[in-house]
Structure 1
């Protein structure tokens, strides 16, 4: 299937990708025409060296104005820009483009009144409420650099980000809401500032948005702090609305922290112009999304998915974005996502595979789905972790729409590989992220950096540099750390840290992080491949495979599984059945025998399984629980469960129930 472009020409994916490689200058300057510029760029790419490049460096714009003001000026001011749906409080709200622009302008004026200027940093530590989006866009409006930290991060982790970004102002709320509990933010902010030395941290004010459902207010902390604690509403009431400030295209828009291998977080720096151009292109050509469309991105503004596809992408495209405060299950049931999709009329759902697996575990027959009309839903986009084929088939068969398992990273800002529904709907394959997007030249390289790209050949996934618009500029405060972390391992390539292979049709299969490849008696095995096999068993809801230390073989594959609700099976029988499955599909070379049944897998809040931490615990190594963990109690449960690990006989004959 092919779709017409805005110029009336019929485009095919392969042609568009080749154009992006043969003439990147022309390709991206054409894409830049969809953005309103204060000074239109005449040059797309400025490459200073093999490790230093900029996009649209001679252009100026304001990203917030592109997301809001231009739609109001075009007569779409009354169109809904944002739908807020809080399953935690049972409330909903809709903001038009005009209303959102006015609230953003007012808060931008409030920040300016606190002395915030272009280039200053503002740390945003908020729950999933409209104020989080308003604060981000307000920073962009006056040229301040926002750094959003996931609400509820521990004080020590918050302090690390304060020290690194050195924000002038912190914007927060009294707290966030989780099923059955409230998470108070203000004690965490207060403690983080104390760790950073109070006023010596450089923070000049803390702005607090009160929530009735969570105790705490600015007044509770103002008297005992040398830093002013200010009430959001009072501050905005006295503010003079701010107009957009023109910014250079290569000026930083935001800093977003991701985990670093050394333990210190890496502040990924995103530019303004390249990001706006890339997201505008992506919304049309990858998401097939534009004016009049609604997207429900079930993520958090603390993650890159929230930045790109809750806030900036949908608003740049002139569509409607859904801001959801809740969970896929438990708020109140596994039909939560279907309710939101039905009530908002969303065309697109974007979420993580872990959310779908949680729904599948609670409602494998999708009985809740039958309560809702999802006739306007056309596609589901998945990212954040590898999508196992079993869940892929389950959701595709259940929803009857396109399932796009697309792969990207905090560092890239938008999909490296996807099924580009806005250009051409390609054949989807379970377990594959489909094909590289225009702008990304993806290769498979060996440990020496040699290009070994060929069908079925697995290796390190690298991307030829320069990276396209919208990808990271550098790491905040250390350009050398950026080079060392991403550009040194394979000269001429950005090292993704993932392993995989292409098939004969050019579809990329991302099998997992390179440190998820295990070596069993000299045989290299992909944990992703082993996990695919375990998920073939009808009792398994989720699983993770790690390489545990083995005195004889170097490593052995150890499996950790959760069982679907309502399934009755002994751990011994289940282990024997899983061992048989692995022997049938992988072979005895896997030497797979250890199975541990868990209630929950240790995960980050974004749904990534903490395989490294699990391996360290199993091997008895020192470990640090990442600040991004969903629930610290799950680590204790994991340690307790290790005592129940079943080592199954490798040759026991069993009949697997179907």
Structure 2
């Protein structure tokens, strides 16, 4: 790549964003091409490509088939749970999506209607998402296995016409029945849907007939629970429906919400343009290449880079039903890369840490051929330098950290490998992506000098592909994100930029602690603690202290096979922090635990841990991966639990 390609692109995206994004829009197939890039008449509620029309499904499937690429592999389903794989060409995927769009249409789903998808990692999840997009319906994927009350809150908020689910999901040690959860969620929500469509899976006990009538208010006919297979057998394929670029493509509820959920709205045109641009310029993935995003379709990463991004690019996407370890071992990821000749892997640092914990020397790598792998991308949780070095050493490919949020839909900061491969700095997601005018400011909004930590904010307007509002409430969107620093989007994260403009994200703003008047980042302490050779992963939280306001406490998980006395480890970690950060951190406590509480997307629940330690009311987020971890931590953090539900 030509030297300076990134800098030129970034500068143009800030000085002439309308021209930059109209040029990027040329990579998308439009029913009515845009002549205007941005509508700023309702600022701070901005709209991209306001006069254009397109269909996201047609861009993901139809255009590739029409161009003669119908035989190219679009989707590879790999189930480590079942020991099975299945491939879909672009032509086959288009056929199934078109017919399921007909199924939805037959149940009364029309343009603008919402459809809740409560599905595991099976092909029907991808098919249903694209089928919604095909007819202009708005999908909202709810992570498979969520508790009924959480599903109900999303049903209540989105008011779907239809729910699409499966008979169950698979976990390493259990089968999760979905139908009773959907049944209860419908009753709790008070919302009546026209139908529930069930993708049947072998081995689940519940029969659809048990639930006929669920959701009925007693004033009309029972709600039908329909078989995916039976409905597809008689379905009529439908053509794509062009929609306004500003029409919503999907709603995605942010993790850990309580009360009224926060539904992030992604628009159709902006998402198609941003994801198409990012596939080429960030991930360097093009037609026929294989991208595996080891996430879930229930998360934003799954929306952007399991489903839409790779298919918009004409690439092959891998849909993996399994875990990084335990299905069957810590070599699962290497097996998938080998089997499907994966070019680019995108995963969470948590997955890498889990693999490293189980196989510290990466001995299982020797059993697989990873010569196809060009790049590993990580996001979702800060990529600590120790895990970065472990992955880079053993995989022998660039390991690229990047940082983004559910709200942004694609990377805020990244090393744009397809545009210009920049030097990698461990601990940094590199530089802002084109379109993101990023600044570091203090609490009053004043810019911070290079090296000084502060609030990470993004100047408005945000680029295409980012959230346009929250479902049902522009006011809530403005108050949640745009009020703290007028003219900017508040990311809620803190960090600093170095002399080269590289960003270092240190954590959420509430992860900055105050020790005897000194503001310290728990993220900085975590980096030091995590560098110890015995530590697989760690979380540092600020615990209330009567003398100094707060004190930093580290909770560490050891690597498999490590034999070290907790007192010795604590002494070594205290010494490391004093050496790297200084006595000002006043770091004195490190506690060894079996596991850290995380969401299913891999984020450590530091806020919940801190609330537990301080004896505050707390709510365990619905997105937690294993609630038993919280129970196990209870004696360590605080002997007597005080969840909000228990106090009530």
State the TM bucket, normalised to the shorter chain. Answer: over 0.9
Contact 1:597 1:641 survives alignment (8 Å) = no
**What is the alpha-carbon distance in structure 1 between the residues aligned to residue 231 and residue 42 of structure 2?**
46
Quote the Cα distance in structure 2 between the aligned partners of 1:123 and 1:259. Answer: 16
Deviations 1:52-75 (A, max 9, x none): 110011000000000000000000
What residue in structure 1 maps to residue 155 of structure 2? 162
Cα separation, 1, equivalents of 2:399 and 2:561: 27
Q: Deviations over 1:337-379 (max 9, x none)?
A: 0100111111100000000000000011010111111111010
Deviations 1:494-549 (A, max 9, x none): 00000011111111101110000010111011011000111121111010000001
- Which of 476, 479, 498 matches 1:503? 498
Give the superposed CA RMSD. 1.3
Find the counterpart in structure 1 of residue 66 from structure 2.
73
Deviation readout 1:124-181 (Å, 9 max, x if unpaired): 0000000000000000000000000000000111000000000010000011100010
For residues 373 and 213 of structure 1, the distance between their equivalents in structure 2, rounded to whole angstroms, comes to: 34
Give distance in 1, aligned partners of 2:121 and 2:367: 26
Alpha-carbon distance in structure 2 between the residues aligned to 1:581 and 1:637: 28
1:314 aligned partner: 310
**What SS is found at the alignment partner of 2:143?**
coil
Matched, 1:144 2:140: no
Map 1:551-570 to 2 at 5 A: 551-570=546-565
Unpaired segments ≥5 residues, structure 2: 217-221, 640-648
Alignment map for 1:230-379 (pairs within 5 Å): 230-259=226-255, 263-379=259-375
Distance 1:639 1:308 in 2: 36
Query: Aligned partners of 2:232 and 2:36: how far apart in 1?
Result: 40
Q: Is the 8 A contact 2:213 2:223 kept in 1?
A: no
Q: 1:545 to 1:50 in 2, by over 3 A?
A: same
2:608 corresponds, among 606, 613, 617, to 613
| Partner Cα distance (1:619, 1:464) in 2 | 35
- Does the Cα contact within 8 Å between 2:553 and 2:590 map onto a contact in 1? yes
1:101-125: per-residue Cα shift (whole Å, max 9, x none)?
Answer: 0000000000000000000000000
Shift of 1:261: 6.6
Q: Who is 1:212 aligned against?
A: 202
Partner of 1:538: 533
Does 2:32 correspond to 1:39?
yes
Instruction: Give the deviation of 1:232 after TM superposition.
Output: 0.6
TM-score by length of 2: 0.96
**386-395 or 583-592, larger mean C-alpha shift:** 583-592
Displacement of 1:202 after TM fit? 3.0
Residue aligned with 2:386, SS = helix
**Alignment match, 1:63:** 56
Residue 238 of structure 1 and its aligned partner are, at CA, apart by 1.8
SS in 2 for 1:254: strand
Residue 217 of structure 1: how far off its partner (Å): 3.4
- Do 1:559 and 1:596's aligned partners in 2 also have CA atoms closer than 8 Å? yes
CA distance in 1, matches of 2:259, 2:353: 29
Name the SS for the 1:124 alignment partner: strand
CA distance in 2 between counterparts of 1:14 and 1:213 reads 55
Q: Distance in 2 between matches of 1:529 and 1:223?
A: 54
- How do 1:629-640 and structure 2 match up within 5 A? 629-640=624-635
Give the aligned partner of residue 100 of structure 1.
93
CA displacement at 1:218 relative to structure 2: 2.1
TM-fit CA distance, 1:260: 6.5
**Equivalent-residue separation in structure 1 for 2:318 and 2:90 (angstroms):** 13
Where does residue 482 of structure 2 map in the other structure?
Answer: 487
**Residues 11 and 423 of structure 1 are in contact (CA less than 8 Å); yes or no, is this contact kept in structure 2?**
no
CA distances 1:4-34 after superposition (whole Å, capped 9, x unpaired): xxxxxx8611011111111111111111111
TM-score in terms of structure 1 length: 0.95
142, 166, 170: which is aligned to 1:177? 170
- SS, match of residue 300 in structure 1: coil
Cα displacement (A) at 1:581 = 1.3
Answer yes or no: is the 8 Å Cα contact 1:357–1:542 preserved in 2: yes
